[in-house]
């Protein structure tokens, strides 16, 4: 799939603020420091489409990006950032939960995990939650440029065992090198496009 056009459309914290044009949506979710904004920018080949912050937890809203005028890529707030208050974390959780449980346009969820570390309890809970609601899910391990090939092989086994996923459901990517970017774009977005036709 060739991404020819992408633009930020709106930010939302509640259902009444979501786009109302019924295009299909694919949501990206992950821990606050997993590199969500970086991978969105890398996949769309737009340097500043999603704002990348030096501080984890920058995304506090649901951000909708229109791709090729056909579907939305949806950037959800990151979870698991310890340096915010419990009240703030609860609020972020409610924003994510409302979207994931009540959005009929949502066709797929991409769960991002850090390839350098064993998935956290939050990652496991999120994946189980996504499965519980019956969404098509793909797991992408980020920041692979920080690992040697041996470390990557070892960590792939750890990630698959921890999350209980098949090899086919797990992809690896570096937003810095962008190796195999086109292949990942096809794998993430092609089946969503089929729902448009």
As a whole number of angstroms, the distance between CA 109 and CA 132 comes to 12
Is pLDDT above 90 for 112?
Answer: yes
Is pLDDT above 70 for 147?
Answer: yes
Mean pLDDT of 130-138: 90
Q: In sequence order, what are the beta bridge partners of 139?
A: 111, 170
Is pLDDT above 90 for 28?
Answer: yes
Is residue 107 classed as helix, strand or coil in its secondary structure? strand
**pLDDT at 166 (0 to 100):** 82
List domains and CATH numbers for the chain: 23-177 (3.40.50.300)
Window from 36-50, 71-85, 112-126 with minimum mean pLDDT: 71-85
Mean pLDDT of 135-140: 93
Is pLDDT above 70 for 129?
Answer: yes
As a whole number of angstroms, the distance between CA 61 and CA 11 comes to 6
Mean pLDDT of 129-148: 93
**pLDDT at 29 (0 to 100):** 94
């Amino acid at each position: 799939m060739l991404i020819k056009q992408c633009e930020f459309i709106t930010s939302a914290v509640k259902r009444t603020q979501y786009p109302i044009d019924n295009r299909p949506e694919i949501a990206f979710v992950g821990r606050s420091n997993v590199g969500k904004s970086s991978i969105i920018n890398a996949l769309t080949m737009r340097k500043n489409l999603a704002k990348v912050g030096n501080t984890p937890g920058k995304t506090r809203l649901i951000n909708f990006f229109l791709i090729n005028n056909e579907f939305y890529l949806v950037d959800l707030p990151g979870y698991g950032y310890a340096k915010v208050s419990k009240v703030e974390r609860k609020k972020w959780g409610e924003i994510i939960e409302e979207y994931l449980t009540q959005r009929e346009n949502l066709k797929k969820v991409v769960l991002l995990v850090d390839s350098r570390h064993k998935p956290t309890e939050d990652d496991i809970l999120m994946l189980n939650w996504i499965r519980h609601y019956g969404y098509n899910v793909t797991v992408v391990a980020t920041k692979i440029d920080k690992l040697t090939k041996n470390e990557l092989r070892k960590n792939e086994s750890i990630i698959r065992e921890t999350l209980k996923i098949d090899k086919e459901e797990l992809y690896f990517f570096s937003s810095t090198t962008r190796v195999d970017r086109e292949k990942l774009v096809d794998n993430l977005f092609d089946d969503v496009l089929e729902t448009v036709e």
